[in-house]
């Protein structure tokens, strides 16, 4: 559950440390995400404990090296967040074109860096 409040209302609140301030400093509010049930909170604690374990810390750190940056680049940097075709086959082709676009961009940046040095 999401709760938003004006910053002036936050004085003396016991949840102040858990709040997230707005990314834009122009907005004068803070956001607090409250788990709806104890089950949701336990999952977050379980994940924190798992990430703190040295064995899983190494595995989890590899996620940023493998695939997540590709999806982040395509979705946020390139601004492509949905498919526009109607069939699965056409959407697969469109997805491959997005991946090709990402790879060409990586090759271009690598060549640009190599020739700049």
3-state secondary structure of 60: helix
Mean pLDDT of 61-67: 66
* Whole-angstrom distance, CA of residue 5 vs CA of residue 3: 7
Query: Which two three-digit tokens encode residue 110?
Result: 């690598």
Q: Sorting pLDDT into bands at 50, 70 and 90, what band is 111? A: confident
pLDDT, tens digit, 9 for 90 and up, residues 89-107: 988 898 888 888 888 988 8
Strands 20-21 and 29-33 come out as antiparallel
Phi, psi of 100 (to 5 degrees): -60, -45
Inform me whether the pLDDT recorded for 117 exceeds 60: no
Burial of 57 (0-12, 13-18, 19+ CB in 10 A): exposed
Whether residue 76 contacts residue 70, with contact meaning beta carbons closer than 8 Å, is answered with no
Rounded to the nearest 5 percent, the helix, strand and coil shares of the chain are 65, 10, 25
The model scores a pTM over 0.75: no
């Amino acid at each position: 559950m999401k709760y938003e409040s004006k910053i002036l209302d936050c004085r003396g609140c016991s949840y102040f440390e858990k709040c997230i301030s707005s990314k834009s400093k122009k907005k004068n509010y803070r956001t607090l995400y409250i788990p709806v049930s104890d089950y949701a909170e336990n999952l977050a604690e379980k994940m924190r404990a798992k990430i703190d374990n040295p064995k899983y810390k190494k595995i989890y750190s590899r996620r940023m090296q493998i695939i997540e940056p590709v999806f982040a680049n395509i979705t946020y940097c390139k601004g492509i967040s949905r498919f526009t075709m109607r069939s699965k086959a056409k959407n697969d082709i469109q997805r491959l074109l997005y991946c090709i676009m990402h790879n060409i961009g990586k090759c271009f940046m690598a060549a640009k860096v190599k020739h700049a040095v």
